Every structure is written in structure tokens, then in C-alpha cells.
């Protein structure tokens, strides 16, 4: 049925996405059908569709988007939640009569979305269940890509795709190009959402949807589901396979359409932490009330050794240490300053006074500047269980930064923790490191003004990263030693933090970036920009070694979509998407 609706006021979609869709959203049905015929198995996918007093025109469009799928091994399991609109039942029965793959059940009483979804689930006979809403639409290739993913990754248990929004005039906007599985980000927002596809056997073992979490029943389900599978069993398809309809009263149109949803989400998160025996509390994200923040408990705060390499420029070091001592509310820390050949009398006197007054221990190293060696020397002398690497041009501006970072560093399976660093002019300097950005590795959201959310609130939310900057990084001392510390030989000045974080990830340790530890980074103030020919040569040499050592990983950051360009500043749509580039190349 053609949608025939009056024109509604809407913001113009980004031209880049409009052009991108024209080029890359087309479905080559012949090629896709040929690919599907090569699958060893043709999994049956059960699409769960709860309905209640639906707009029949929009529901018709939703069902048509299923019936037009290139992949034909599906069943549509429709449950009506005792709609009071008397047109709904005969309309559904007439629709189901046209296609035996459409299965119906009619509830006797209204039970709301979770109960209705469970009723739809009772009809499912497929090995996989896809969640679907009554006014949305699937792309024609959606189930084909899901079936191919199941074939390619038989260990998969949960599959999700990218999504966008579509208005009543059929205009697409707001593409959500998602990260691969990011367990930390998932505690802040339900980015899995749609299209979400779950293995039926496990879904049934969990009892389906829980009543009492209406508005966030999908989030609660995904949280419970994730507790029973490994990270590699969660698969992300970096293609837009689902379209949220921006209809009046829908969440796609306005998040406040379901104000109870965020409270249900936080209850689901609290339950999740309790089931996993994680001590912590759940609050609203202070910069976006729709998102969430998990604050991890610290029952016995460990001693932290804060390591600060320096050379001359005493004003920088003084500001760093005084702000650290005056503002930090975490009491159990020691300071180790590594002096790399200071010669100015004022600096030498300040260092002597630090030791004399027991404000810091001072280690001296007169060799050529080697950032990795200086930090390694201090780490060997550290008394703390946690190492905090801090540049001397960092300024502390809020009390809770170290408590926040330590609360992550002490968690199991966390390797390193990075902070949200700001330039003195109030723009963002570090929002985590993206592999491949700018050619090697670049900072996410560099230059972003304060209070700007970044891409889908990513500048507001704690999340996993491939790497964080060594300008402010926490790591447990035992992990630092086991991973081999910083590489003094190959990364004396550049990329030592990236290389170290990648080695941690190689050991299945996670890298966490938190926006709840905010500091100012007066970047490179102590040594200047170092644009000498020697420095440039060193940069190129270390860049070449990073590329040689880590190769293709630098082009495939799991926390940065292949639909984005690797040109700075990042998060701009790639033409063509990088997964298309690789496919065309092969």
C-alpha cells in the first residue's frame, strides 16, 4: 500500500547521507540470490511483530517490507495485544491469508509490549528471532545479510545491524552507523536495538521478554542475553538494514514519547549488575538524561603511583602538581617525577623542594628524550598497585577524576583507562584513539566544543576503545609488567601508547575511555611542537614500524564504523564504505 500522507515539517537530511544512499543502498537482487544459493543451510528466521491499535497504512508498509525480502526463508509471527480498534483483526486475517508465512495470534486481554512480544514468540519455529515494530521497515536485503552472517559465523548467538530513520514521506535521515560489540557503551545506551536477531534456543531458555520493563523490554532482553554468551558470539553487520518510522507518537520521532522507558532501562541495568555481581550504581548521564552512567564501587581504594615525566618549564610542572594535590579527592596516591635533564635553576630548585618536603619522589635520567624509557623507569620504582601516567602539561580541574579512572582500572579484564582531555580553549583534545584515523591513529572528536554530544552521544558516554593516549592513562602495575611495558626501542616518542594498548587488547584486556574524568591538556607545551628534521624523521620511522607491526588492524578499528572515512576529524560518511572498498578489491 502506498503511503499517502501530508507533507510534514522536518529537518533536511545531511546531503552526504542522501548521496550515500543513492550509491550504496541499492540491492543487487540477482547477485544476492546467487550468494544465498551457495549457503550450506537456509536458516528459518522468525520475525516477532507485536501490534496494538496500529496505523493500518503503516503496518501494511511494515509487512510489505518483510514480504519483499530477497531472502525468503522467514515467518512473520504477529501477536495482537487485544486492540480496541475493531478493524485490526479482520485486516490482519485478510493479510495473513495472502501468505502462509504470516502467522497470527490474538490475545484475549491487553498485556502491553513485553507480554505481547512473548505471545508472538510462541508462534516462532525458526532457529533465529528478529525483533520488529509495527510501523517500521526492513531493507530488502536485511534477512539476506543476516542469513549470510549466520553462515559465516556459526558461533554467533546475537546479530545486530545499523539503522536509520524514515519519515512519512519516505525520506531517510539520521543514519546510525554502529560500533562492533562494545560492552561498556552498551551499558550507556541500547545501541543494538534494530535490527536485533537472537538465537531462538537461548531466547527460549531465558524465558523471552520480562514484563515490567515496558519501553525498554528489548534492552532488558539484550542485557540478559549478553550475560550468557562470549564477546565473539555477538556479530555486527555494518549495513543499514532497519528503518525507524518517524510517525507521530513514536520514539523515532521523539525520545520523550515514552518517558517511562529510561527508568525501565535503568532498572534493567541495575538487575544486570546484580546478576553479574558487579558493585556499582546506575544514574542518568549528566549530559544527556536519556542515556545512562554506571558508577563502579571502590570498596578498598588501592595506592596509585602518578608518574610525571618533565624537563625544565617549572611553571607547567608546578601547575600540574598543585592542581593534582589541591583538587583530587582520591587520597591514596604518590607522585613520582622523572626529570629528563632539566638545567634551569628554578626547575632544579623546585625538584629539590619536592623531595625535601616529601611531596614527590624525583628520579633523574639525563639521556636523550625517550618517553617510553622515562615512564618505564618510574614504573619500576612505583609502590602503587595502579600506575597513572600523566604528562606534565596536564591540569586537574575536577575532584573526582582519579576516583573515576581507578574504579575502571580495578575491574577484571580492563587493561587501561583513558580520560576526557580538553584544550585550554575549551575544545576536546582526546575522546579515545581511533585506529587508522588520519593515516595511523587519531583522537576521536578532536576540536569538539564543550556540551557537544559528538556522534550519537559518544563524547558523553563511557565506552571501549582500541587505544587511549598516554598523556593520562591508568593501568594496573602487574598488567603493565606482564604486557612488557612501553616499547623503548621502537616507540621512543610516538605511538608508544597505541602500541601498548594494542598489546593489551591482544591479551583480551579492554581499553576504557571515560568522559567522567575531565582534565585540561596543554599539549606539548613543555617541549614545543618539535618540528625539527630529526623529530620528523623519528616520527616517520616509528609510524613505519607501527604499520609494519600492526598492519591491517590499523584500518579496521572495531569501535569505528567502516561506513566512516579515515580522514580527520572522523565520523564523516565514507564514499564508498570501507567494507565495500575491500569487497571491490577482492
Distance CA(57)–CA(63), nearest Å, equals 10
In a domain, 2, yes or no: no
Angle, helices 345-356 vs 314-327, to 10°: value is 30
Indicate if 51 and 170 belong to the same structural domain: yes
Indicate if 198 and 254 belong to the same structural domain: yes
* CATH classification of the domain holding 223: 3.90.550.10
Indicate if 409 and 348 belong to the same structural domain: yes
In a domain, 27, yes or no: no
Indicate if 384 and 457 belong to the same structural domain: yes
From first to last of the 586 residues of the chain, give the pLDDT tens digit. Answer: 334 433 334 444 456 888 899 888 888 888 889 989 999 989 999 999 999 999 999 999 999 999 999 999 999 999 999 999 999 999 999 999 999 999 999 999 999 999 999 999 999 999 999 999 999 999 999 999 999 999 999 999 999 999 999 999 999 999 999 999 999 999 999 999 999 999 999 999 999 999 999 999 999 999 999 999 999 999 999 999 999 998 776 555 555 556 789 999 999 999 999 999 999 999 999 999 999 999 999 989 999 999 999 999 999 999 999 999 999 999 999 999 999 999 999 999 999 999 999 999 999 999 999 999 999 999 999 999 999 999 999 999 999 999 999 999 999 999 999 999 999 999 999 999 999 999 999 999 999 999 999 999 999 999 999 999 999 999 999 999 999 999 999 999 999 999 999 999 999 999 999 999 999 999 754 444 556 888 899 999 999 999 999 998 998 999 999 999 999 999 999 888 876 654 443 3
Non-local CB neighbours of 238 within 8 Å, separated by 6+ positions = 161, 162, 177, 178, 561, 562, 563, 577, 579
In a domain, 1, yes or no: no
Indicate if 543 and 401 belong to the same structural domain: yes
Last residue of a domain, one of 257, 275, 293: 275
Beta 472-476 vs 196-199: how paired, if at all?
unpaired
In a domain, 36, yes or no: no
Distance CA(56)–CA(413), nearest Å, equals 49
Cis peptide before 195 (omega within 30 of 0): yes
The pLDDT value given to residue 254: 52
The pLDDT value given to residue 250: 58
In a domain, 564, yes or no: no
Q: How far is CA 559 from CA 122, 465, 556, in A?
A: 36, 6, 9
Indicate if 373 and 259 belong to the same structural domain: no
Indicate if 264 and 375 belong to the same structural domain: no
Neighbours of 149 (CB within 10 A): 16
Q: Tell me which residue of 443, 440, 386 sits closest to 569, measured CA to CA.
A: 443
In a domain, 241, yes or no: yes
Indicate if 464 and 372 belong to the same structural domain: yes
Indicate if 134 and 235 belong to the same structural domain: yes
The pLDDT value given to residue 561: 95
Assessment of whether the complete model's pTM goes beyond 0.85: yes
User: What length does the chain have?
Assistant: 586
Instruction: State the DSSP H helix or E strand holding residue 343, giving kind and residue range, or none if neither.
Output: none
Indicate if 337 and 400 belong to the same structural domain: yes
Non-local CB neighbours of 502 within 8 Å, separated by 6+ positions = 466, 467, 550, 553
Domain assignment of residue 538, given as a range: 304-555
Last residue of a domain, one of 256, 275, 294: 275
Indicate if 147 and 268 belong to the same structural domain: yes
Last residue of a domain, one of 227, 254, 275: 275
Distance of CA 214 to the CA centre of its chain: 24
Non-local CB neighbours of 280 within 8 Å, separated by 6+ positions = 273, 294, 295, 296, 297
| Cell representation of residue 316 | 607547567
| Cell representation of residue 585 | 578489491
128 class by beta-carbon count within 10 Å (0-12 exposed, 13-18 middle, 19+ buried): buried
The pLDDT value given to residue 525: 45
In a domain, 14, yes or no: no
Question: What does DSSP assign to residue 367?
Answer: S
The pLDDT value given to residue 524: 56
Indicate if 249 and 327 belong to the same structural domain: no
Q: How many domains does the chain have?
A: 2
In a domain, 448, yes or no: yes
Amino acid at each position: 500500500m502506498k503511503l499517502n500522507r501530508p507533507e510534514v515539517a522536518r529537518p533536511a537530511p545531511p546531503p552526504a547521507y542522501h548521496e550515500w544512499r543513492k550509491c550504496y543502498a541499492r540491492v543487487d537482487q540477482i547477485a544476492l540470490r546467487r550468494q544465498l544459493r551457495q549457503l550450506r543451510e537456509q536458516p528459518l528466521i522468525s520475525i516477532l511483530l507485536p501490534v496494538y491499535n496500529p496505523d493500518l497504512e503503516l503496518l501494511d508498509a511494515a509487512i510489505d517490507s518483510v514480504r519483499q525480502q530477497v531472502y525468503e526463508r522467514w515467518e512473520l509471527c504477529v501477536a495482537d495485544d487485544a486492540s480496541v480498534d475493531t478493524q485490526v483483526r479482520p485486516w490482519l486475517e485478510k493479510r495473513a491469508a495472502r501468505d502462509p508465512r504470516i502467522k497470527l495470534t490474538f490475545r484475549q486481554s491487553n498485556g502491553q509490549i513485553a507480554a505481547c512480544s512473548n505471545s508472538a514468540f510462541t508462534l516462532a519455529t525458526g532457529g533465529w528471532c528478529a525483533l520488529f515494530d509495527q510501523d517500521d521497515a526492513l531493507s530488502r536485503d536485511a534477512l539476506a545479510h543476516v542469513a549470510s552472517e549466520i553462515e559465516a559465523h556459526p558461533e554467533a548467538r546475537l546479530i545486530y545491524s545499523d539503522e536509520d530513520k524514515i519519515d512519512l514521506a519516505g525520506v531517510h535521515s539520521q543514519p546510525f552507523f554502529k560500533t562492533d560489540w562494545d560492552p561498556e557503551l552498551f551499558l550507556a545506551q541500547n545501541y543494538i536495538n534494530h535490527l536485533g536477531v537472537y538465537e531462538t534456543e537461548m531466547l527460549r531458555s531465558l524465558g523471552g521478554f520480562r514484563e515490567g520493563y515496558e519501553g525498554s523490554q528489548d534492552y532488558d532482553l539484550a542485557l540478559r542475553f549478553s550475560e550468557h554468551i562470549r564477546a565473539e558470539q555477538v556479530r555486527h553487520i555494518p549495513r543499514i538494514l532497519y528503518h525507524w518510522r518517524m510517525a507521530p507518537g513514536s520514539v523515532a520521532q521523539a525520545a520523550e514519547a515514552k518517558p517511562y522507558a529510561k527508568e525501565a532501562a535503568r532498572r534493567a541495568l541495575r538487575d544486570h549488575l546484580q546478576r553479574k555481581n558487579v558493585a556499582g550504581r546506575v544514574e542518568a548521564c549528566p549530559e544527556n538524561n536519556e542515556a545512562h552512567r554506571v558508577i563502579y564501587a571502590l570498596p578498598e581504594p588501592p595506592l596509585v603511583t602518578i608518574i610525571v615525566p618533565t624537563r625544565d618549564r617549572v611553571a607547567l610542572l608546578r601547575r600540574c602538581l598543585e592542581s593534582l594535590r589541591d583538587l583530587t579527592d582520591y587520597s591514596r596516591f604518590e607522585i613520582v617525577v622523572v626529570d629528563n635533564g632539566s638545567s634551569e635553576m628554578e626547575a632544579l630548585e623546585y625538584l629539590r623542594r619536592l623531595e625535601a618536603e616529601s611531596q614527590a619522589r624525583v628520579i633523574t635520567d639525563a639521556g636523550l628524550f625517550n618517553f617510553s624509557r622515562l615512564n618505564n623507569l618510574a614504573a619500576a620504582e612505583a609502590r602503587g598497585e595502579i600506575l597513572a601516567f600523566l604528562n606534565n602539561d596536564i591540569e586537574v580541574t575536577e575532584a573526582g577524576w582519579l576516583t573515576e579512572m581507578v574504579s575502571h582500572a580495578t575491574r577484571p579484564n580492563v587493561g587501561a583507562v583513558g580520560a576526557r582531555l580538553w584544550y585550554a580553549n575549551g575544545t576536546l583534545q582526546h575522546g579515545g584513539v581511533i585506529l587508522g584515523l588520519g593515516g595511523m591513529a587519531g583522537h576521536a572528536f578532536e576540536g569538539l566544543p564543550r556540551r557537544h554530544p559528538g556522534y550519537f552521544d559518544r563524547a558523553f558516554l563511557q565506552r571501549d576503545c582500541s587505544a587511549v593516549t598516554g598523556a593520562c592513562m591508568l593501568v594496573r602495575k602487574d598488567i603493565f609488567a606482564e604486557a612488557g611495558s612501553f616499547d623503548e626501542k621502537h616507540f621512543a616518542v610516538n605511538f608508544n601508547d597505541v602500541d601498548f594498548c594494542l598489546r593489551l587488547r591482544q591479551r583480551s584486556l579492554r581499553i576504557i575511555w571515560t568522559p567522567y574524568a575531565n582534565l585540561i591538556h596543554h599539549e606539548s607545551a613543555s617541549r614545543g611542537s618539535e618540528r625539527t628534521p630529526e623529530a620528523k624523521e623519528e616520527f616517520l620511522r616509528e609510524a613505519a614500524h607501527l604499520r609494519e607491526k600492526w598492519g591491517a588492524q590499523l584500518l579496521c578499528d572495531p569501535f569505528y564504523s567502516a561506513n566512516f572515512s579515515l580522514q580527520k576529524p572522523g565520523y564523516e560518511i565514507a564514499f564508498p564504505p570501507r567494507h565495500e572498498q575491500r569487497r571491490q578489491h577482492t
